[in-house]
């Protein structure tokens, strides 16, 4: 096994051509495939060709490729499916191989309702109120600025 693949990883098998996939596009470092469990028509995954669990552990070049591919595909989705927007999120937990979800999203669909509920939750609980206080915001910013 080389550093680029992980035994038993579905995405590594796709990259290696050992497993079937609906490949939409690819470059040297990234690949865009249709998700086999789509939330909506056009739901894609952009995966790193190298086996790395978390996107922030990729090299700068790999990250540039990953997000360039995501941008290219999101623009294509906007043109072809005319959604309100293309939702993007990064995962790696269930399948520990960096992948970005790209999901065309429409007003009132399941993701739109989910994120509206999440935003309402974010704005309401008293336990989160302290996070908005200037001192807490300054402290969080200070911590995140440190290398």
**How far apart are the C-alpha atoms of 115 and 62, rounded to whole Å?**
29
Judge whether residue 3 has pLDDT over 90. no
Per-residue pLDDT tens over the stretch 90-145: 876 788 999 999 999 999 998 888 888 877 776 666 666 777 789 988 998 888 88
Structure tokens at 65: 């490729």
- What integer pLDDT is reported at residue 29 of this predicted model? 97
Judge whether residue 2 has pLDDT over 50. no
Structural domains present in the chain: 1-106 (3.30.428.10), 107-147 (no CATH)
Per-residue pLDDT tens over the stretch 47-80: 999 999 998 999 999 999 999 999 999 999 999 9
pTM of the model: 0.78
Q: Which residues contact 74 (CB under 8 A, 6 or more apart)?
A: 86, 88, 102
Per-residue pLDDT tens over the stretch 73-104: 999 999 999 999 999 998 767 889 999 999 99
Answer left, alpha or beta for residue 26, where phi above 0 means left and psi between -120 and 50 means alpha.
Answer: beta
**How far apart are the C-alpha atoms of 70 and 34, rounded to whole Å?**
13
């Amino acid at each position: 096994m080389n550093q680029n693949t992980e035994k038993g990883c579905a995405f590594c098998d796709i990259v290696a051509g050992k497993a079937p996939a609906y490949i939409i596009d690819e470059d040297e470092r990234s690949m865009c495939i249709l998700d086999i469990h789509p939330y909506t028509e056009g739901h894609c995954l952009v995966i790193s060709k190298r086996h790395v669990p978390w996107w922030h552990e990729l090299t700068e070049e790999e990250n540039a490729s990953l997000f360039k591919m995501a941008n290219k595909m999101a623009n294509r989705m906007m043109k072809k499916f005319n959604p309100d927007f293309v939702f993007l999120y990064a995962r790696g937990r269930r399948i520990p191989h960096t992948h970005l979800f790209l999901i065309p999203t429409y007003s009132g669909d399941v993701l739109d309702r989910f994120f509206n509920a999440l935003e309402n939750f974010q704005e309401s609980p008293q336990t989160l109120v302290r996070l908005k206080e200037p001192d807490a915001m300054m402290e969080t910013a200070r911590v995140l600025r440190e290398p």
